[in-house]
Amino acid sequence: MFNLDCDADGFVRLTIGGKIDEAQMKEGLESFLRIVEAADKTDFLYTIKDFEFPALQAIAVEFGYLPRLFASLPKIGKVAVVADQAWLRRAADIEGMLIPGLTIETFPPDAEDDARAWLIEKS
C-alpha cells in the first residue's frame, strides 16, 4: 500500500504498509512527485504500518526515480514519520541528519496527534 492524500490542515498524508510491488511503487512515486512539484513547499505526515521490504522490481523502479526525488528535496518542508517499527523511526532520524535541509521528526504510532500538531505549528 502506498497512498497519498491532502489533509485539511495543509499537509500531505503518505500512508505506507505491507509489501509494495513494482506498479504500486511507480504509481506512488509519480503521485508524490506531482504533489511536490506543484507547490513551493509541502509538509508530509508519513504513516508506516506493517511495513515489509518492497519487491526487488519495486526497488529498481525507485532507483530510476532517484534523480527526480533528489531534485525535489528543496520543495519538501517538514516531515513527520509515524511508524510502528522502531528501526523505521531510527532510519528516518538518520535520514534527517544526513540530508541537508530536510527536517524530520519521528513518532510512535500512539503519538499521531503529536505528529499532526508538530506539522501545523509555525516554524
| pLDDT, tens digit (0-9, with 9 covering 90-100), for 52-111 | 988 899 999 999 999 999 999 999 999 999 999 999 999 999 999 999 889 999 999 999
Structural contact between residues 112 and 47, judged by C-beta atoms closer than 8 angstroms: yes
Query: What's residue 61's pLDDT?
Result: 93
At residue 1, the pLDDT reads 86
* DSSP code of residue 24: H
Domains and CATH numbers, the chain: 2-120 (3.30.750.24)
| 42, 74 Cβ separation under 8 angstroms | no
Lowest mean pLDDT among 19-23, 82-86, 112-116: 19-23
Q: What is the pLDDT of residue 5?
A: 92
Say how far apart CA 55 and CA 22 lie, in whole Å.
7
Give pLDDT, residue 123. 59
Q: Are 29 and 62 contacting, i.e. CB atoms less than 8 angstroms apart?
A: yes
The dihedral through the CA atoms of 91, 95, 98, 101 has a sign that is negative
